[in-house]
């Protein structure tokens, strides 16, 4: 995890690794606009409780051993996913692109184009709602995705007589196609896993899942940086072996879907009327502000690919230095996620989304002083400690929140629409970020690549305001969460001891 500004992507990666993105429990089309706030609150409370009972009844039909097995396998897959996403993405793929000769605009395009593949989630949801085996679909798509890393590894050989434009174009094209298969995989897997794991275990599941994911990410951020610094002397061949390794790990991860229970999907009563199911998604009132929050938060992707670019190219920071800076936030996400999982179960998701987003609003100011490699260690690393704690909370809380506001039947369609909206709105942002310094120069404003980090601050602020509009019955206030934080931290330390 690089910074506040790369966290939107990381949140969705976690989303993809666990159950793709959040899914589960409620969702309702009851209109309460003519009710008083007090009456509406009690009505929603009853609705949520009734739908929770329906969800619990569905999961209670599953043997406990299948639930435990699903969770254990998912933990293993989270670890493997973190490995191949760490070495097949992040600073590795950006370093590879820079080695191939990519410029700012191409780095932005490399992030933007794959994001448009999110529309294929609707195809996956349509297949799911029509009864296709989710285990078979997920395994096939994930295997194809794994093969893509092998092709990426061969780019220098396949295009050895071509210029950098062709090589970078091939990389962008392959990443886009691979993301297409990834989205199909993720949508089917999200509804599948949500049918395996009961709501009562969501907080614990996401907390541990994020922790395991980031343990691996931390190791590979630092160890991988050391490897890349060493690989500089061997040219591009060091990257080739990285992507070959990523392909093998991704294949093992894909095959781990086979031992999971292929539980039948609970079809929506309108499973063959996609238009009706889409309309029902937009009439799911609890889901709308959650979509708005996730969308605005993810618009920080305006700076997502440029953290590594600025440090590696403009400040000449070593890959080890980049890995250390990234590891500061990753370690804190890892350490804080189990704690935030317990807080979600105790206080609800809404107060955590508010408090954690508000905590990172001031962070982008520190880039004013980050003009040398030395300042990366003095300022960026400490700031990432705060960012990591906050993003750990947001990741766990947002995952759980989306599970809470989508229905059991028709979930795959609502997840697809949620992800499509969030991703398509955020998709142009990295490209905009790539052109932003030049646009500002044309206006006579002398500024460097750091402008994209300051632009992200606006989206953090707006996301915080939107979080306040999320309605979550039975949740407690953000003020109460913050007030009780010291006592809860002491309690966690006592329990750990």
The model's pLDDT over 193-207, given as tens digits with 9 standing for 90+, comes to: 777 777 777 667 777
The model's pLDDT over 45-89, given as tens digits with 9 standing for 90+, comes to: 332 333 444 444 444 467 788 888 888 888 888 888 878 777 777
Classify residue 265 by its DSSP letter. P
The model's pLDDT over 440-473, given as tens digits with 9 standing for 90+, comes to: 999 999 899 999 999 999 999 999 999 999 999 8
% pLDDT > 70, the chain: 80
CA distance 404 to 420: 19
Mean pLDDT of 216-223: 71
DSSP 349-375: SHHHHHHHHHHTTTGGGGGGG--SHHH
- pLDDT band, very low/low/confident/very high, at 228 (cuts 50, 70, 90): low
Domains observed in the chain: 4-496 (1.20.1250.20)
| Own/partner long-range contacts of 128-132 (Cβ < 8 Å, ≥24 apart) | 128/187, 128/188, 128/191, 128/265, 128/412, 129/265, 129/267, 129/268, 129/271, 129/272, 129/274, 129/277, 129/410, 129/412, 129/413, 130/271, 130/272, 131/264, 131/265, 131/267, 132/188
b/e map 267-290, b = 16+ CB within 10 Å? ebebbeebeebbebbeebbbbbbb
Instruction: Point out which residues pair with 405 in neighbouring strands.
Output: 25
- Minimum mean pLDDT range among 21-30, 187-196, 214-223, 483-492: 21-30
- pLDDT band, very low/low/confident/very high, at 236 (cuts 50, 70, 90): confident
**Per-residue pLDDT for 424 more than 90?**
no
Cβ(304)–Cβ(5) below 8 Å = yes
Coil, helix or strand at residue 56: helix
* Residue 185 pLDDT: 87
Classify residue 405 by its DSSP letter. B
Mean pLDDT of 304-332: 86
């Amino acid at each position: 995890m690089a910074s506040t500004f790369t966290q939107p992507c990381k949140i969705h990666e976690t989303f993809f690794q666990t159950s793709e993105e959040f899914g589960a429990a409620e969702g309702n089309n009851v209109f309460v606009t003519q009710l008083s706030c007090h009456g509406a609150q009690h009505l929603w409370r009853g609705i949520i409780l009734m739908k929770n009972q329906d969800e619990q009844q569905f999961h209670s039909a599953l043997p406990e051993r299948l639930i435990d097995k699903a969770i254990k396998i998912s933990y293993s897959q989270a670890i493997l996913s973190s490995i191949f996403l760490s070495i097949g993405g992040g600073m590795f793929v950006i370093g590879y692109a820079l080695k191939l000769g990519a410029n700012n605009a191409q780095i932005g395009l490399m992030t933007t184009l794959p994001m448009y593949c999110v529309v294929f989630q609707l195809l996956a949801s349509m297949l799911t709602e029509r009864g296709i085996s989710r285990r078979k679909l997920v395994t096939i798509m994930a295997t194809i995705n794994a093969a893509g890393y092998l092709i990426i590894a061969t780019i220098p050989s396949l295009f050895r007589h071509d210029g950098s434009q062709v090589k970078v174009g091939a990389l962008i094209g392959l990443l886009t196609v691979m993301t297409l298969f990834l989205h199909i995989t993720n949508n089917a897997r999200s509804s599948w896993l949500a049918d395996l794991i009961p709501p009562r275990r969501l907080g614990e599941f996401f907390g541990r899942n994020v922790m395991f994911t980031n343990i691996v990410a931390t190791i590979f951020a630092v160890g991988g940086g050391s490897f890349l610094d060493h690989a500089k002397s061997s040219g591009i061949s060091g990257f080739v072996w990285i992507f070959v390794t990523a392909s093998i790990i991704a294949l093992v991860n894909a095959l781990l879907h086979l031992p999971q229970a292929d539980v039948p999907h609970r079809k929506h009563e309108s499973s063959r009327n996609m238009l009706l199911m889409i309309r029902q998604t937009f009439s799911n009132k609890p889901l709308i502000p959650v979509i708005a929050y996730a969308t605005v938060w993810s618009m920080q992707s305006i700076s997502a690919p440029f953290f590594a670019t600025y440090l590696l190219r403009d400040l000449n920071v070593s890959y080890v230095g980049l890995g250390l800076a990234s590891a500061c936030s990753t370690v804190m996400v890892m350490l804080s996620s189990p704690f935030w999982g317990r807080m979600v179960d105790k206080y609800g998701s809404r107060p955590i989304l508010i408090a954690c987003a508000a905590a990172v609003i001031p962070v982008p100011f520190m880039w004013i002083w980050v003009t040398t490699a030395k300042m990366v260690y003095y300022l960026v690393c400490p700031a990432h400690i705060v960012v990591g704690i906050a993003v750990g909370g947001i990741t766990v809380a947002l995952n759980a929140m989306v599970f809470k506001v989508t229905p059991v039947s028709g979930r795959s369609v609502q997840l697809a629409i949620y992800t499509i909206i969030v991703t398509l709105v955020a998709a142009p942002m990295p490209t905009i970020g790539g052109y932003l310094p030049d646009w500002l120069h044309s206006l006579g404003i002398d500024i460097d690549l750091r402008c994209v980090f300051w632009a992200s601050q606006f989206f953090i602020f707006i996301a915080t305001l939107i979080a306040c509009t999320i309605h979550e019955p039975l949740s407690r206030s953000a003020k109460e969460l913050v007030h009780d934080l010291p006592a809860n931290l002491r309690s966690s330390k006592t329990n750990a001891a």
